[in-house]
Every structure is written in C-alpha cells, then in structure tokens.
Structure 1
Amino acid sequence: MVNWSQMHDCYGDVDRVPVLLERVELEDDAEAWEELGYRLVLECDLVLPAGFAALPRLTRLASRSPAARGLAGTILRRAAGHHGCDDLLAQCTDAIAEFRESLDQYLRSRPDDYLMVFRDALAAMGEYHWSAVLGDFADDFYDLACPGCDTEVTIAIGECGRYSAVRDWNLGDVHRRDLRPASFEELSGVGRWMYATAVRDGRKALADGITHLFGKAGCPCCGSVFGIADAYTSANRPVLR
C-alpha cells in the first residue's frame, strides 16, 4: 500500500497524483493524463517519487490505455538516472515484469510506434543504455574507445554503410573497416532477444542492424578486433545505486 503522504510530485504535492490516477482508471481522461505526465517526470528527465509510486497502477492500465503504456515507458526509460528512489523501484519488480509481457504482446501487433515500444521493453529489462540509444539503423552511429589502444572509434550502421572508422573533423570518417555481423548462433542474452523479437515481428532492417551492433569491429589504428556491443555496454551501462 502506497503511503502517498511521502510521495511528492514536481510541485511538492502529495495528494494530487492519486486523485488523477483514480480519474484515468475510471475513464481515458486526456487532461488528467497530461497533468500526470508533467507531475511525475520533469523536463530534465528526472522521475519524481510519485512517478515510481504510480508505476504499478500505470502498468496495470497499459494493456488498454496507450497513455498509460507511454507514461510507464517514459518512467522506466529514466529509471537509470540519479533519482534516489531505488527502494521504490525495487517494489515495482512484479509490475515491471507484467509490463514487459504487455509490451511484448503489443509489439506482436506491429504498431506504428514499434521502435519506441521496443525501447520501452529494453528499459523494462534493465537494459537502459540500449533503450536510450537504439535507433532504426537508417543512419546510426556509436562512439566508443578501442579496448586495445583506447582510440575513439566511430561505429556506423545504416544507409551510409556498416563500418568502423576514425572520425576526422575535416575529412569525415576515415580508415574505414567493414563490420562483421554476428550470426544468430553467436547472439546471446539481450542481443538474441532483440534480434529474435525483430525477426518475429517482421522488422528486417532492425534485425539486420542488431546483428551488426552485436558483431565485431576492427580498430582502424591498432587493428585489434572487438565486440561492439560488449565495448559499448562496458562504457555506458549505468551503475544503479
């Protein structure tokens, strides 16, 4: 049972959010949803305590309310920030697991907002770094340090090509090397889930991009070969406190 007297929103109020939640549970009230959004999540992407307290109720509504699904996803995508509410987030474990199932069912319907929901599902899995940066691979770039020589390497995956390079201010991407995509057998963990889900839902470009993102790259400077996803995850996975 939530003690709302301790759950302030962005205005410091402790009683407005539960009233709004009751309104949206009764009917799909657009004004109430809009007010909930700015009371629970600040423009600087900080989630307030009331946001995590509201999460179980939002996830229960997610299967029938696009607004609930979107707001719950927004809260989860920002859960890696320094919000100071890890105890509240820990209490949402079951609700988040149910939300993941709801999102997976929605993805199967191949919605227009597929990529956003896909990223919400990654956040629900705790894969915040992929949730934050994953694109549609039309023109995606990932910057990381070569594990061998620490050179800053640009990884390009998109219509511009699929390569590793050194980015020069005047010349663009130089010393390009083709990426080696991973086979399905080489994928594991979140990479396998991402690929299998994209294939299941007919997202060929997304699936192909994922094989390259979880494949191998050669450093243009020292020539060492490394796993792109491993290097990016090591540098960008948030440490939750």
Structure 2
Amino acid sequence: MMDWTQMHDCYGDVDRVPELLERVELEDNTEVWEELGYRLVLEHDLVFPAGFAALPRLVRLAPRSAQARELAGTILRRAAGHHGRDDLLADCADAITEFRKLLDRHLQTRPADYLETFLDLLAAKKQYHWSAVLGDFTDDFYHLACPHCAVEVTIAIGDHGRYSAIRDWHLGDVNRRSLRPASPEELPGIGRWMHETAVRDGHAALADGIAHLFGKAECPHCASIFTIADEYTSANHPVLR
C-alpha cells in the first residue's frame, strides 16, 4: 500500500495527487490532467516523489488514455535527473516492464506521435541518453570533440546532408566529410534495436538516421576515423543519481 504521506508533489502537498488520480480514472478531463502533470514533473529534468508513486496507476490507465501514456513517458524521460528517489523508481519495475510492452504495441500502429513514443520507450529501457538527444533526422546536429586531436567536430544528419565538418560561425560548416553509416550487422545493442524497430514500423528516415548516427565519421582536421555514437555518448551520457 502506497504511503502518500511521504510522496510530496511540486507544492509539497501529499493529498492532491491521489485525488487527481482518482478523478482521471473516472473521467478523461483535460484540466485535471494538466494539473496532475505540473504537480508531478517540472521542466529541466525534475520529477517529484509523487511522480514515481503515481507511475503504476498511470501505466494501468495508459491503454485507454493517451494523457496517461504521455505523462508516464514524461516521468520516465526525467528519471535520469537529480530526483534522489531511485528507491521509488526501483519499486516501479513491474509497471515499467508493462509500460514497455504497451509502448511497443503503440509503435506498431504507426501513430502520429511515433517519435515521442519511441523516445519514451528508450527511457523505459533505461536508455536515457538517447531518449534525451535523438531527433527525427530532418535537421539534426551533434557536437563532439575528435578523440584524436580534440578539435570540435559538428556532425550533421538531416535533409541538408550527412557529414562531419568544422563549424565556422561566418562561413557555416566547412571541410565537410561524408559520414559512413553502419550496416545493420555492424550496429551495437541499443543501436541495432533502434534501427530494427524503425525498419519494422516503416520509418525509413529514422532508420537511416540511426545507421548514420551509429556509423563512423572522419575528423576534418586530422583525418582520423571515429564512431560517432561512442564519442557523443562518452561526452554526454547522463548518470542516474
């Protein structure tokens, strides 16, 4: 039995969230969902204890409520932040497992919110880094340091090209070098899952972008070759606290 007296929301209240959860279980009220959302999660990666406490009930509602699914996904995307309640997150393991299955089923319907659901599923799989940074590859840029000469390299994967370059704020991206996408067989664990899922669901542009993101780039300065995802992850990977 959940002890809500220990589960404060963003206002420090311990009774309002259970009341709101009971209301949305009875009716799909937009105003109630909005209040519930901002009581559980603030911007900039902050989730309150009541957010994790509410997660199992949100997952139970998610099959019939898009708002519940979206709010549960938002909570999980923030799980890498400085919330200090990993114990509550651990208590949600069964609910998160069920949520992963639900999200995967939703992806297979090829919904309008495909990318958002894809990112939520990455978070549910504890892939918080990629959940936070992955885009739709229409105009995506990743900035990292070359592992050999330390020069800052811009990686572009989008409609304007797929290349590594040196960014000049007056001239734009100069000294461009074409990226070398990974073949499906070369993709590592999470990269392979991401690619296979996008292919399965008919999202060719997303699959192609993932292949490039997990492929190799040439440093325009020293001509060394490196794996983009490895270098970007090592520089930006969030750590659960």
Alignment correspondent of 1:161: 161
Correspondences of 1:5-16 after superposition (within 5 Å):
5-16=5-16
Displacement of 1:134 in angstroms is 1.0
Which stretch shows the higher mean deviation, 138-147 or 29-38?
Answer: 29-38
Displacement of 1:30 in angstroms is 2.0
Which stretch shows the higher mean deviation, 181-190 or 27-36?
Answer: 27-36
Alignment correspondent of 1:33: 33
Q: Distance in 2 between matches of 1:172 and 1:84?
A: 42
Displacement of 1:43 in angstroms is 3.5
Alignment correspondent of 2:234: 234
Alignment correspondent of 2:142: 142
Which stretch shows the higher mean deviation, 20-29 or 153-162?
Answer: 20-29
Alignment correspondent of 1:196: 196
Q: Distance in 2 between matches of 1:87 and 1:9?
A: 17
Residue identity in the other structure for 2:17: V
Alignment correspondent of 2:43: 43
Give TM-score, length-normalised by structure 2: 0.97
Q: Secondary structure at the match of 1:140?
A: strand
Contact 2:165 2:176 in 1 (8 A): yes
Q: Secondary structure at the match of 1:9?
A: coil
Displacement of 1:35 in angstroms is 1.1
Alignment correspondent of 1:96: 96
Instruction: After superposition, give the CA deviation of every residue in 1:38-62 in whole Å (9 maximum; x if it has no partner).
Output: 1101234411110011111111211
Q: Secondary structure at the match of 2:226?
A: strand
Give the number of equivalent residue pairs: 241
Residue identity in the other structure for 1:220: P
Alignment correspondent of 2:216: 216
Alignment correspondent of 1:87: 87
Q: Secondary structure at the match of 1:13?
A: coil
Q: Distance in 2 between matches of 1:93 and 1:230?
A: 28
Give aligned-pair identity as a percent: 76
Give TM-score, length-normalised by structure 1: 0.97
Q: Secondary structure at the match of 1:122?
A: helix
Q: Distance in 2 between matches of 1:189 and 1:56?
A: 28
Q: Distance in 2 between matches of 1:59 and 1:235?
A: 33
Q: CA RMSD in A?
A: 1.0
Ranges of 4+ aligned residues in structure 1 off by more than 6 Å? none
Gaps of 5+ in 1: none
Q: Secondary structure at the match of 2:202?
A: coil
Alignment correspondent of 2:2: 2
Alignment correspondent of 1:170: 170
Q: Distance in 2 between matches of 1:173 and 1:135?
A: 20
1:54 aligns with 2:34: no
Alignment correspondent of 1:117: 117
Q: Secondary structure at the match of 1:62?
A: helix
Q: Secondary structure at the match of 1:83?
A: coil
Residue identity in the other structure for 1:160: H
1:69 aligns with 2:69: yes
Q: Distance in 2 between matches of 1:95 and 1:107?
A: 18
Alignment correspondent of 1:182: 182
Gaps of 5+ in 2: none
